[in-house]
Chains A and B, each alone.
Chain A
Amino acid sequence: MLGPDQLDHVYTEACRRMTALGADKTELFLARLALLLMKEVGDSARILDAVDAARKSLENG
């Protein structure tokens, strides 16, 4: 598990790099990041849980 400091770090780094790429590339960046993380996680049940959590978080507001 990531600790609060580590999460803070990767969160900030991802935002910085997306910002540097420019707003027009944000969507594609996130799509590629999602695919790369799917490969890293390597477990379809966990990936689908995360996909569902993302969907529900948007449906609920």
Chain B
Amino acid sequence: MYEYFTYRKYPVRLPPLAHGLESTRHPVAIAGGGPVGLALALGLANHGIRSVVLEADDSVSHGSRAACISRRSQEILERIGGIAPVLAKALPWTAGTSYYRETPVYRLEMPMDKRQKYYPMVNLEQCYFEQDLADLIEAKHADMIEIRWHTRLAGFAATAQGVELALDTPAGAYRLAADWLAACDGARSSVRSQMGLRFSGSQYEGTYIIVDIHLPSSHPTERRAWFDPPSNPGSTILVHKQPGDIWRIDYQLRDDEDPEEAVKPENVLPRVKAHLDWIGETAPWEPVWISSYKANCLTLDQYNHGRVLFAGDAAHLVPIFGVRGMNSGIDDSHNLAWKLAHVIRGQADPRLLDTYSEERVFAARENIRAAAKSTDFMAPPSHAFKLMREAALGLAVADPFFATLVNPRQSSAISYGASRLALADREPFAAGPQPGATLAECPLERDGLPAYLTDLLGPRFVLLCLTATRPDPDLSGLGVTVALHWIAPTRDARAQAWDKSGELFPLYDARPEAYYLVRPDGHVLARWRMLDAMAVRAAVSGALKGP
């Protein structure tokens, strides 16, 4: 098959050993060097915490796999220093079209206005994305992060103080001690199975074939879905464009097809050809990757188990429709990084990690709920779902009322409104991100230059002061830094930034003033109409030390 990516092979490296045990103890060991493990390592480094990443393969993972990076993931990538190489290659998109037979029945338009810094979605093959993160670690964080390629986790023992891992490499086996183990080792997590932890939830029966092809085409980047197309009657076909003239094609198998037979190129390629011919793609093409897929709605009930923490596919499996798989894993890593860092530095009670589990299990269930609705439509799990879908699609041709049923419900940021790290408003707000939500993006002027609100975030608590009067709260002696950013409604040389567009203050219901306390992961912890240093101090110390 056509190879569009050159896999860099990394050598295996053994650390200095004493009686088969690595001489140095690590603060954090991360099982799995996929996108979630690498993002977690970068997130921890951002907070000054070292980690060692243990990756069973000798290269980044094969194939295009997760191909779509959400706006929230792009924001997180910026925070951990990894956005530039991704955006240099990725294809941005905002829209899509769904067809029933030949007729367009639904137009997807994702939120994109002039306030946004990032596109709602960008497409990039997972191998490029992983390589970008690995390159970033090598170039800028070699002192904080060590990736050990070709190093497989064979077993481990956990105690209340840490973990001891047994590792296998082609150069020999050794043991490694760490204070914490982050299991980012994917859907077939060996950490999860060794701990005897079971997913709960449901699985869909239907099988999807995922094919990536190399096809030169000028068609713009969008999401296209066909239900019952003349090229493949009875089937559902999804087409996405990726960089480098790579196209992602997904289709569902009929119930009477054998998945093992159906994934063979001789059975895949004629169906792809029929569809390409029908949509008028005439350039020569060839396959680059073929895989089969079943939708799962599964999660662990808890992601923190003493010194072992689960993230990404190791913790939950979400159907692909709506692109919540890798994106939710990156969100996990961002939620976990600051909490684990604060616990390791002794700035937070270890129970802060309970909120990681509570918030991200909640997020997984929200993601599963939304993705299951998409899956029910894309891959009807029963005769009734199939019948009603056909009925809805037929009506949607003439009546947009029914077209909303076709909405693929793309991934969007999740709000932790019920978390103990989201303090209820004391005064009513008519607008603005509620406690638990991520910031709504807005342009502003900072130090005389155009900037965005989220540019003010960093690996620390941030107090955004939207006010005309100089804020001067005493936030010393908290044990952690709270960065104070003063944003004035009009140009003011004393403030860090001002609301040049005039949109920020109304968007945040900040007239005459408002104060938003933002967690290190960019979610709002609390907000007030008046500046009250005592309330800010209580919110930060309550978050870290527990109720």
Q: Chain A interface (Cβ within 8 Å of chain B)?
A: 27-28, 31-32, 34-36, 39
Query: Which residue of A has the minimal Cβ distance to B401?
Result: A39
Q: Of A27, A32, A34, A39, which contacts B394 at CB under 8 A?
A: A32
- Chain A residues with CB under 8 A of B387: 27-28, 31
Q: Chain B interface (Cβ within 8 Å of chain A)?
A: 387-388, 390-392, 394-395, 399, 401-402
Contacting pair A35 B390 (CB below 8 A) = no
Can you list the 10 inter-chain pairs with the closest CB atoms, starting with the nearest?
A: A31-B391, A32-B391, A31-B387, A35-B391, A39-B401, A31-B388, A35-B395, A32-B395, A35-B392, A28-B391
Residue pairs across A and B with Cβ atoms less than 8 A apart, 23 shown, are A27-B387, A28-B387, A28-B390, A28-B391, A28-B394, A31-B387, A31-B388, A31-B390, A31-B391, A32-B391, A32-B394, A32-B395, A34-B388, A34-B391, A35-B388, A35-B391, A35-B392, A35-B395, A35-B402, A36-B395, A39-B399, A39-B401, A39-B402
Query: Which residue of A has the minimal Cβ distance to B383?
Result: A27
Other A-B pairs beyond A27-B387, A35-B388, 11, CB < 8 Å: A28-B387, A31-B388, A31-B390, A32-B394, A34-B388, A34-B391, A35-B392, A35-B402, A36-B395, A39-B399, A39-B401
Closest Cβ–Cβ distance, residue A31 to chain B (whole Å): 4
- Chain A residues with CB under 8 A of B392: 35
- Chain A residues with CB under 8 A of B391: 28, 31-32, 34-35
Closest Cβ–Cβ distance, residue A30 to chain B (whole Å): 9
Query: How many residue pairs at the A-B interface have CB separations less than 8 Å?
Result: 23
- Chain B residues with CB under 8 A of A35: 388, 391-392, 395, 402
Taking each of A35, A36, A39, which has the highest tally of chain B beta carbons within 10 Å of its own beta carbon?
Answer: A35
Closest Cβ–Cβ distance, residue A1 to chain B (whole Å): 25
Q: In whole angstroms, how far apart are the Cα atoms of A56 and B491 in the complex?
A: 67
- Chain B residues with CB under 8 A of A39: 399, 401-402
Closest Cβ–Cβ distance, residue A47 to chain B (whole Å): 13
Q: In whole angstroms, how far apart are the Cα atoms of A13 and B453 in the complex?
A: 62
Closest Cβ–Cβ distance, residue B27 to chain A (whole Å): 52
Q: In whole angstroms, how far apart are the Cα atoms of A56 and B166 in the complex?
A: 58
- Chain B residues with CB under 8 A of A36: 395
- Chain A residues with CB under 8 A of B390: 28, 31
Closest Cβ–Cβ distance, residue A18 to chain B (whole Å): 14
- Chain A residues with CB under 8 A of B401: 39
- Chain B residues with CB under 8 A of A34: 388, 391
- Chain A residues with CB under 8 A of B399: 39
- Chain B residues with CB under 8 A of A31: 387-388, 390-391
- Chain A residues with CB under 8 A of B402: 35, 39
Q: In whole angstroms, how far apart are the Cα atoms of A34 and B387 in the complex?
A: 12
Q: In whole angstroms, how far apart are the Cα atoms of A6 and B59 in the complex?
A: 73
